[in-house]
Structure 1
Amino acid sequence: MSRAARICVAKIGAAHGVRGEVRLWPFTEDPLAVLHYGPLSTRDGAKQFTVLRARAAKDHLVATLDGVANRDDAERLNGIELYVSRDALPDTDEGEYYHADLIGLAAVDPQGKSIGTIIAIHNFGAGDIIEIAPNNGPTLLLPFTNAVVPTIDLAAGHVVIELPGEIEGEDEPS
């Protein structure tokens, strides 16, 4: 499987103040890592942004971007996702993966039968959730744990899924 060429590392939010600062929502383990990747660009690569300064705020960063001098300039950037070349990111440790490397992998059961395709990895605060688009039917949201996903084989382009049994506490509808 080829590695994703570009990875989204942050998203620009609303303007902050009147001097052109923006709220920046990083998707990196270390939020301030966005300062060290060099110029970040839009998905299509048409525009580049350099983060000059950033400081931690409540649940985001407040950042100064090169060339953004006032609130009007900052407001025009709201919602832009910022990408970096996959090669600019450090290699992962054993058992760690970039979400972009997992999205698109085939999900198979322990016997190798297709379950579907990974379409997203989510974290709503209680741990990672893997979202799988099955061959038919609604998407599956499963805990991204070693018990449910015991094998990840990037070279083969698939993950093995051990579908959990019945969820304890759920009653059959009457």
Structure 2
Amino acid sequence: MASSKIAAKTVPGIAPADDAAVEVAAAAFCGIQRGAATGVWDDFVDLLAEDVRIMIPVPATEENAPEGVLRGRDVARRMFSNRHVEKVQGARLEGKRIAANGPLVVIESRVEGNLGGEDVANHFIFVFEVRDGEISSMYEYASWTAKSAHSGWSDPTFARDAFDETVLPFDAASH
């Protein structure tokens, strides 16, 4: 029978949270909150490293959809200032849970708003890697179940029930 207590040193790749990385990731998430609500993404993009790697889920049905991992702050600035301004309107993101492994920070969130002309209530996971006080990589994972008329996920009440508390609330006054 395996022991239920495993010494941390025997688990490969597990490290204590890097508090400074958590602060940078939380600031980046707040920049994403602001960008989703207002279309102004500068607070987020300014935290990106020059050689940042970004992967975001973009449905293949999108015209001229960016594919694969995007590289570089300038590429990110162009994408967020053009594509996201048109596709994301008045979305409200709330950070629900945060986990960190060294400089890798995961923020689980819920979003309500209008994405591409459709009212949605989805869940997103943002994974930030912080290096030298900047975001060196960001991966976004999304549940697109709100697209299904039978899932119930497009009902904001249903989506709100998935989490008990909010750790990074949406503050309309700051956006």
TM-score w.r.t. the length of structure 2 is 0.24
Give the number of the structure whose residues are more often strand, by fraction.
1
Larger-gyration structure (1/2): 1
Tell me the TM-score normalised to structure 1 length.
Answer: 0.24
